[in-house]
Structure 1
Amino acid sequence: MQRSQHLGGLAMAEFLAHPKVVGLAGFGPCLVAACYLDRASGTYPYCKAHIQRLRISREKPGFNEAVWRRTERAVCSTREVSLRGLPDRLVAEILYALSSRVDNGYKLRPECLRPLYDRLRAQQTGRLEEVTDPEGAGYGREHATMIRAAQLALARLNATPETERVKDVWDMTVFGHVGVVPFTAITQKPLREAMKIWVYDDLPRRRNKNAVHHARGIIAAVAMLSESLRLQRPDRGEVPAAWGRGDIVAYCNRMGHLTATGQQSASRRLAYTRFVRRVLVRFRTLGLTGPGGVLEGVPVDFAIWPEDMPDEPEDAEAGRDLPEAVMRVLCENLDRLEELSSTETRVATELLIDTGRRPDEICSLAWDCLESDPDGSPVLVYDNHKAYRLGRRLPIGGETAEVIRRQQQRVRDRFPTTVPARLKLLPQLRTNPEGTKPITDIATAHRKWVASLPDFAVPVITTEAGARVTHLVPFDRARIFPYAYRHCYAQRHADAGVHPDVLKELMDHRLISTTQGYYRVGAERRREAVDRVTALQFDRHGNRVWRAAQSLLDSEHVRRAIGEVATPYGVCREPSNVAAGGHACPLRFRCLGCEHFSTDVSYLPDLQAHLADLLRNRERLMSAFEADDWARTQAMPSQEEIDRVRRLIDRVSSDLDQLTAEDRAQIEQAVTLVRRSRTVHLGMPRIGQPLPDVRPPRNHQP
């Protein structure tokens, strides 16, 4: 402030330069700890705003001005948040938490931070860890979330694997993973400490995203053993040296009881028993049962032997693929999924349907995941996190490639300044300013979408009064989940006749037995389908055989299994050729001229493809194709063979046309099941044969 004596009518510049014009000292800062303003006068030690607040606060009973000074909030200022009045330790924690929050892509809003810090000041909090129950202490949901995130960031500040391994709940971020692994379900301390050692030893060998899931599964299995020890033993299982064979028997019986009463599935019982057996063996190899170990004195018979293992549960169903009617409804309602969730969720679902990849493989796709083979065919580049196989290449169709191109353009429009190599194809909508974070889960949005759709109805065939009748029954929505599309992908290709070895590569499996589990049919359904197609069986002349057969006897099913061998367009029953596994035929794929050959309606697509090949080859040989006469003569398809194939196709098609619409639908369904169960490639080898287009149709593209 400035004060002057009366100096007459001086101009402003002369007034300021006059030697009698001097500056006077201020009244000092406001005594409210959070305030950054100066006092308004020498009468009150507060700024003007806090003088007004003081007058109001004094009217409250039990008012303490000293406490009020320490806890009163600062004067609100645009885009500013005051940390004055907070302990130095708390200020440092807040600043580090804010830095961590910014690094994670969150935006900082002063209108949200200001009331949080005012409450911390009002409660005289010294450290963030003192706030044990944010919501119970009166903090709102958003503030409680921020406090918990800050506490987590502070806990990770100096955490190392060595400090984390002694805790009962591990933060797996310290080990380079995501999530937590709790050991609290294991009540016996020696067993819990042994499991910590086991998991700590096993983690380096788990290089993919499933490391945390695997550790939780193992711990859950050992927790079942811990529960059995607690319930069965008088000492509640606290003394490892007292464990023995009887405890293993009790555990196995308890697992059987839980399965019999429906509290757990047979597959989980088998998996948990395998886990426990493996862990108990590893305890010994790690030296935990020896002198000085945490399980010192555990008897040798405290182990699960091979004869203790439960039987492998029968897989009576062919994977978890969805019926065609269900897939049709889902594809027709993809627009609704986009309305309920986001474009990214819709695109992720489309790619799951079209490519059959695992959900995490689709969610983590890079922006530049679309490439081309030398012939220009589009290829999807993805990472198989489960098997730790990076840079995998999957052939895809043009429509699927167009879905990816449109999504790439949307991402570039949204994040124009980010380097493409850092972008994700499906970036998450929030806390992602640069587009480098992918969406992590679509299951919740997918479940809401499925629940919003009308009832699904699928055809089911029943027998009424000796006749087969088709009924529409509701389909269980619980079977519609993102991973089911992988089973559908495998099933569609199997139905289209893709060779199992090729399908194994498409599914990116190491073992063909794993692939077969995605599309095989149960024996009962396969037998019913064989019964149906057998009723439409023909010999090489097109004559109907077994016309009166309603179903095959058990002995006939066995005979068909061991007394015939697959040929390109049917089966062969010539004994010597069957005994040689199909490698002793002197006719060399001239099956249509052999009396031991027969076919049925399920081979109609193969016969039609064979006729097309014969006509195509004949036209090529009759054109300007350079070859010796003897080679041209032997390679030229005969007119008799062409007529035989045509006659056989016409005969099979004619019998199909005579069926009623319902019988024809049942036959077509049976043909699909029979062709699905074939695990051999019928026909001459073909080099470079393109994959069939099995992409479900869409009514609209985003």
Structure 2
Amino acid sequence: MCAVIACERQRSGKASPYCLQHWQRRGRQIREGTFPGDEMFQAVTRAVSKTFEVSLRGLTPLVAAEVLYGLQERVRGGTKIPPWHVRLVCEQALAERASTLADLDPAGLCKRGRRVLTAFTTAARRLGMTPESERHKDVWDATAFGLSGTIRFTEVRQPWLREALKATVCEELPRRRGSQLCHRMQNHINAFVRLSDSLHLQCEDHGAHPALLNRQDIVNFSNRLAFLTESGEMSVYTWIALARMVRKWLELMHRGRPPSPGGGAFPPTAIPLEGQLTCGALRQSAHDAFKPEVPGCSEAHGYQGGDHLRPAFGNGGHQRCRHPGEEHTEQADGAAHRQNHESEPESTVQDRLDSPDNTLRVVTGP
């Protein structure tokens, strides 16, 4: 047999330890001055390629197992892989004498080879993956939780805040549904990235000690969101959405539902909620910061601040500014409505006024 480990051909003669193809390759490397020596040549030289065959000879047992398992997973998923694509990965692993596919340098492969290598390493990594082992990492593979995609916590600067977010996300994932669940979880994490940046910039200890945080830190965070909105780095909608996301999950942490890494509940005094993250304060600050000049509208004509189509954050609708020509029509409609309202029986009016309480009694029971 040929002395090259990956080759299974017969030697070309009694005097030569190599087959004809490897003997010619050895002579060419000697003439070019790239011959590494017989021992290295025999260890890293690839086998003679065949059209529909891939040689695993010379690979470590772990690399060979990873290649076979990755190939099985790809075929099980309905993906076709030509043999020459797999051969690219095997030859690269043989040349680098890699002990595992994760040690391979993707820069030495073409685009197709990198794609196959990524598929094989992902399949090998997910083989023994569990939610318990994944929840302690800074980058989660959502496949462990029955989802697709990744969840990243790397941009959160403070370790205690990062661990609290991991516990909250781990608690919230089973409670939610939808195809975009990872995206929604990442949006909440990105909102806390803004809070982390604010603590890092405005705290003397960069927010490293949660026991030293107080109400002023939440105020500073709200002011920073307002500054970023006024400078054009985010919209008013993003400002409101980020603040609501942070407040919602801070309340979850304060209630102690997600356990902390050291056991027990999240410290209730870590971040105070008595700041400017209330919906009323956000509405007022947003309207005060963005109050355009609307021709024909003023306080005397029923304009109460905000844009011409002012978002009504509380009821999910829009409240339109009234112009001078609309006053008489609205007054007449109001008078007719009051006249009809006075003519109704007292019981009917009372039933309509008490409808929320009646509904509540129907839902909750007597």
Q: TM-score range by the shorter chain?
A: 0.7 to 0.9
Distance 1:122 1:191, change over 3 A: same
**AA aligned opposite 1:232:** Q
Question: Which residue of structure 2 aligns with residue 68 of structure 1?
Answer: 41
Deviation at 1:234, TM superposition (A): 1.1
**AA aligned opposite 2:188:** I
Question: Which residue of structure 2 aligns with residue 222 of structure 1?
Answer: 192
**AA aligned opposite 1:106:** T
Deviation at 1:257, TM superposition (A): 0.4
1:274 corresponds to 2:244: yes
Cα separation, 2, equivalents of 1:32 and 1:290: 53
Answer whether contact 1:74 1:82 (CA < 8 A) is retained. yes
1:310 corresponds to 2:282: yes
Write the deviation string for residues 313-362 of structure 1: whole angstroms up to 9, x where unpaired: 68xxxxxxxxxxxxxxxxxxxxxxxxxxxxxxxxxxxxxxxxxxxxxxxx
Structure 2 residues without counterparts, runs of 5 or longer: 288-314, 345-366
Deviation at 1:284, TM superposition (A): 1.8
* TM-score (normalizing by structure 2): 0.77
Q: Secondary structure at the match of 1:213?
A: helix
Mapping 1:76-91, distance limit 5 Å: 76-91=49-64
Cα separation, 2, equivalents of 1:101 and 1:307: 49
Answer whether contact 1:563 1:578 (CA < 8 A) is retained. no
Give 2:29's match in structure 1, choosing from 48, 52, 57: 57
Cα separation, 2, equivalents of 1:256 and 1:577: 42
Give 1:206's match in structure 2, choosing from 171, 176, 182: 176
1:146 corresponds to 2:119: no
Cα separation, 2, equivalents of 1:103 and 1:46: 39
Distance 1:275 1:114, change over 3 A: same
Question: Which residue of structure 2 aligns with residue 301 of structure 1?
Answer: 272
Cα separation, 2, equivalents of 1:153 and 1:261: 45
Cα separation, 1, equivalents of 2:103 and 2:124: 13
Cα separation, 1, equivalents of 2:79 and 2:161: 41
Answer whether contact 1:193 1:294 (CA < 8 A) is retained. no
Question: Which residue of structure 1 aligns with residue 16 of structure 2?
Answer: 44
Distance 1:275 1:240, change over 3 A: same
Distance 1:578 1:72, change over 3 A: same
Q: Secondary structure at the match of 1:122?
A: helix
Mapping 1:539-554, distance limit 5 Å: 554=324
Distance 1:182 1:73, change over 3 A: same
Question: Which residue of structure 2 aligns with residue 363 of structure 1?
Answer: none
Cα separation, 2, equivalents of 1:37 and 1:102: 30
Distance 1:577 1:52, change over 3 A: closer
Give 1:156's match in structure 2, choosing from 113, 126, 136: 126
Give 1:580's match in structure 2, choosing from 309, 330, 340: 340
Q: Secondary structure at the match of 1:181?
A: strand
**AA aligned opposite 1:97:** G
**AA aligned opposite 1:559:** H
Question: Which residue of structure 2 aligns with residue 654 of structure 1?
Answer: none
Answer whether contact 2:44 2:95 (CA < 8 A) is retained. yes
Mapping 1:53-202, distance limit 5 Å: 53-61=25-33, 62-131=35-104, 133-135=105-107, 138-202=108-172
Answer whether contact 2:43 2:58 (CA < 8 A) is retained. yes
Mapping 1:651-662, distance limit 5 Å: none
Question: Which residue of structure 1 aligns with residue 295 of structure 2?
Answer: none
1:32 corresponds to 2:13: no
**AA aligned opposite 2:171:** D
Cα separation, 1, equivalents of 2:64 and 2:281: 58
Answer whether contact 1:218 1:275 (CA < 8 A) is retained. yes
**AA aligned opposite 1:306:** T
Mapping 1:677-688, distance limit 5 Å: none
Cα separation, 1, equivalents of 2:68 and 2:262: 49
Question: Which residue of structure 1 aligns with residue 224 of structure 2?
Answer: 254
1:561 corresponds to 2:330: yes
Cα separation, 2, equivalents of 1:55 and 1:299: 71
Question: Which residue of structure 2 aligns with residue 477 of structure 1?
Answer: none
Write the deviation string for residues 523-575 of structure 1: whole angstroms up to 9, x where unpaired: 47xx8xxxxxxxxxxxxxxxxxxxxxxxxx61x4122234249xxxxxxxxx6
Deviation at 1:69, TM superposition (A): 0.9
Q: Kindly tell me the number of residue pairs found equivalent between the two proteins.
A: 312
Cα separation, 2, equivalents of 1:87 and 1:293: 46
1:235 corresponds to 2:208: no
Distance 1:299 1:79, change over 3 A: closer
Q: Secondary structure at the match of 2:106?
A: coil
**AA aligned opposite 1:114:** R
Deviation at 1:300, TM superposition (A): 6.8
**AA aligned opposite 2:249:** V
Deviation at 1:217, TM superposition (A): 1.0
Distance 1:562 1:127, change over 3 A: same
Distance 1:172 1:229, change over 3 A: same
Deviation at 1:44, TM superposition (A): 1.5
Deviation at 1:96, TM superposition (A): 0.8
Cα separation, 1, equivalents of 2:270 and 2:188: 22
Distance 1:246 1:128, change over 3 A: same
Question: Which residue of structure 1 aligns with residue 298 of structure 2?
Answer: none
**AA aligned opposite 1:51:** W
Write the deviation string for residues 191-244 of structure 1: whole angstroms up to 9, x where unpaired: 000000000000111111121111111101111111111000111100010011
Answer whether contact 1:289 1:295 (CA < 8 A) is retained. yes
Cα separation, 1, equivalents of 2:271 and 2:38: 73
Deviation at 1:88, TM superposition (A): 0.9
Cα separation, 1, equivalents of 2:330 and 2:15: 107
Cα separation, 2, equivalents of 1:246 and 1:290: 26
Larger helix proportion, structure 1 or 2? Answer: 2
* TM-score (normalizing by structure 1): 0.42
**AA aligned opposite 2:96:** Q
**AA aligned opposite 2:230:** A
Among the aligned pairs, what percent are the same residue? 33
**AA aligned opposite 2:219:** V
Distance 1:291 1:160, change over 3 A: closer
Q: Secondary structure at the match of 1:563?
A: helix
Larger strand proportion, structure 1 or 2? Answer: 1
CA RMSD across the alignment: 2.8
Distance 1:248 1:289, change over 3 A: farther
Cα separation, 1, equivalents of 2:238 and 2:11: 72
Answer whether contact 1:252 1:308 (CA < 8 A) is retained. no
Distance 1:292 1:34, change over 3 A: closer
**AA aligned opposite 2:217:** D
Cα separation, 1, equivalents of 2:150 and 2:88: 31
Mapping 1:104-503, distance limit 5 Å: 104-131=77-104, 133-135=105-107, 138-286=108-256, 293=264, 295-296=266-267, 298-299=269-270, 301-304=272-275, 306=278, 309-311=281-283
Deviation at 1:71, TM superposition (A): 1.3
Cα separation, 2, equivalents of 1:263 and 1:54: 62
Deviation at 1:113, TM superposition (A): 2.4
Answer whether contact 2:7 2:57 (CA < 8 A) is retained. yes
**AA aligned opposite 1:48:** L
Distance 1:112 1:564, change over 3 A: same
Distance 1:290 1:182, change over 3 A: closer
Cα separation, 2, equivalents of 1:155 and 1:289: 27
